[in-house]
């Protein structure tokens, strides 16, 4: 990105302008020691940033200024007290700044202070969403170890958001230009994941994924559901009947509810077919079953969507990348796409489906 990118951005009127129906988006800066500040600035200076939405960062203003210098771009970083006070013009980055980061925070080093700040940015964004001040949340990456060092013992962003929004169960969906994947289980060990999978959870995950695609404009998504075992158990040769006990009844219940779902499918076949376009969505049973293919097929433009919250939430599909933080070498495309999808989904009318 170059400074000229800023001047090419689409101008937009201040947030308080009468009749402005663009959704407001809370953009959390993530871990200040990682690449979060850089991808946040990069996304807000993208020409499309204010075209269809009104993004406001929850983060640290001075850190964002340092990130802009690292990227070699010009950015007018302005602290605002709330979303209503934000103005949207080319080159401007509006920030709600709770003042939590130390001025001398180094780039690329694990920091409890940065972990706590990232936690608070998410909390504030959820409060804004629950109050109706924003219609979606878009998150830059936080660091789980830093989060834990600060005493916030959550497996990751997804669980943190669910906690602050008062939701017991959500699903992680990863989207790339070639494939979309939703997970039945995520940040738990493989043995625990298999134990947790049961027909009701499989059904709810399928239905949440199908509803998310309907909201995005696909009225009848074709869903492929992975098996747990190799070759989908191959008629009992592999595993202990998990497909028949845990997966198939969930698929049948989702189909009875009107979802075009197929499976259980051998995972290697399902992702091959999904990658060539046979399925609109693949349902993965556990974390690595879904994440591995996604990262091969398009992590650079990948977006993480939390499905099941009372608010839209999207995120980059990469981590804090401490090894390149503060160098200006980070690719901002995933954050640009995450912001675009947050705006698109927040602006779409809710479907009448489940």
Which phi and psi angles does 196 have, rounded to 5°?
-80, -30
Residues 130 and 71 in one domain: yes
Give the number of domains in the chain. Answer: 2
pTM score > 0.75 for this model? yes
Higher pLDDT: 178 or 189? It is 189
Residues 131-151: what's their mean pLDDT? 95
Residues 158 and 179 in one domain: no
Res 54 pLDDT > 90: yes
- Give kind and range of the element (H or E) at residue 226: strand 222-226
The band of 125, judged by pLDDT with boundaries at 50, 70 and 90, is very high
Residues 156 and 29 in one domain: yes
- Write down the pLDDT at residue 208: 93
The Cα 85–Cα 96 span in angstroms is 10
Residues 160 and 282 in one domain: no
- C-alpha pair distances (Å), 119 with each of 216, 242, 303: 29, 37, 20
Q: What number of CA atoms fall less than 13 Å from residue 167's CA on the CB side?
A: 17
- Write down the pLDDT at residue 74: 95
Residues 231 and 354 in one domain: no
The Cα 350–Cα 332 span in angstroms is 29
Instruction: Give me the CATH number covering residue 338.
Output: 3.40.718.10
Residues 96 and 135 in one domain: yes
Residues 20 and 150 in one domain: yes
Tens-digit pLDDT profile for residues 201-253: 999 999 999 998 887 788 999 999 999 999 987 877 788 889 999 999 999 99
Residues 144 and 231 in one domain: no
Residue 329: give the domain boundaries.
Answer: 1-167+310-354
Res 298 pLDDT > 70: no
Residues 186 and 159 in one domain: no
Residues 4 and 145 in one domain: yes
Res 148 pLDDT > 50: yes
- Write down the pLDDT at residue 95: 98
Res 339 pLDDT > 50: yes
* DSSP 8-state secondary structure symbol assigned to residue 311: S
Q: Which residues contact 288 (CB under 8 A, 6 or more apart)?
A: 190
Res 160 pLDDT > 50: yes
- What's the Rg (C-alpha) of the chain? 20
Residues 45 and 78 in one domain: yes
Q: Where are the beta strands (DSSP E) in 41-186?
A: 54-58, 76-79, 92-96, 136-139, 171-175, 180-183
Mean pLDDT of the chain: 88
Residues 227 and 350 in one domain: no
- Write down the pLDDT at residue 301: 64
- Residue 115 gets the label, from left (phi > 0), alpha (psi -120 to 50) or beta, of alpha
């Amino acid at each position: 990105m170059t400074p000229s990118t800023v001047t090419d951005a689409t101008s937009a009127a201040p947030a308080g302008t009468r009749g402005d129906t663009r959704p407001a988006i809370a953009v959390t800066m993530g871990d200040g020691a990682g690449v979060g500040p850089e991808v946040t600035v990069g996304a807000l200076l993208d020409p499309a940033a204010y075209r269809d939405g009104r993004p406001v960062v929850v983060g640290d203003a001075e850190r964002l200024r340092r990130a802009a210098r690292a990227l070699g771009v010009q950015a007018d970083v302005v602290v605002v007290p709330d979303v209503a006070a934000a103005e949207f013009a080319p080159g401007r980055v509006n920030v709600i700044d709770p003042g939590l980061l130390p001025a001398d925070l180094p780039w690329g080093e694990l920091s409890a202070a940065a972990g706590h700040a990232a936690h608070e940015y998410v909390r504030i964004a959820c409060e804004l969403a629950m109050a109706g001040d924003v219609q979606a949340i878009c998150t830059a990456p936080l660091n789980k170890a830093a989060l834990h060092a600060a005493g916030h013992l959550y497996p990751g962003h997804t669980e943190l958001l669910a906690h602050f929004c008062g939701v017991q169960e959500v699903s992680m969906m990863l989207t790339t230009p070639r494939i979309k994947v939703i997970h039945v289980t995520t940040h738990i060990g493989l043995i625990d994941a298999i134990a947790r999978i049961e027909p009701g959870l499989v059904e709810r995950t399928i239905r949440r994924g199908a509803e998310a695609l309907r909201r995005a404009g696909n009225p009848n998504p074709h869903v492929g559901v992975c098996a747990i075992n190799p070759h989908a158990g191959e008629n009992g040769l592999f595993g202990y009947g998990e497909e028949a006990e845990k997966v198939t009844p969930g698929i049948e219940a989702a189909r009875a509810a009107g979802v075009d779902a197929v499976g259980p499918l051998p995972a290697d076949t399902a992702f091959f077919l999904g990658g060539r376009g046979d399925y609109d969505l693949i349902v993965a049973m556990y974390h690595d079953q879904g994440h591995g293919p996604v990262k091969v097929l398009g992590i650079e433009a990948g977006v993480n969507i939390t499905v099941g919250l009372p608010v839209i939430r999207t995120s980059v599909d990469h981590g804090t990348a401490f090894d390149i933080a503060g160098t200006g070498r980070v690719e901002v495309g995933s954050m640009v796409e995450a912001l675009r999808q947050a705006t698109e989904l927040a602006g779409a009318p809710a479907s009448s489906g489940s």
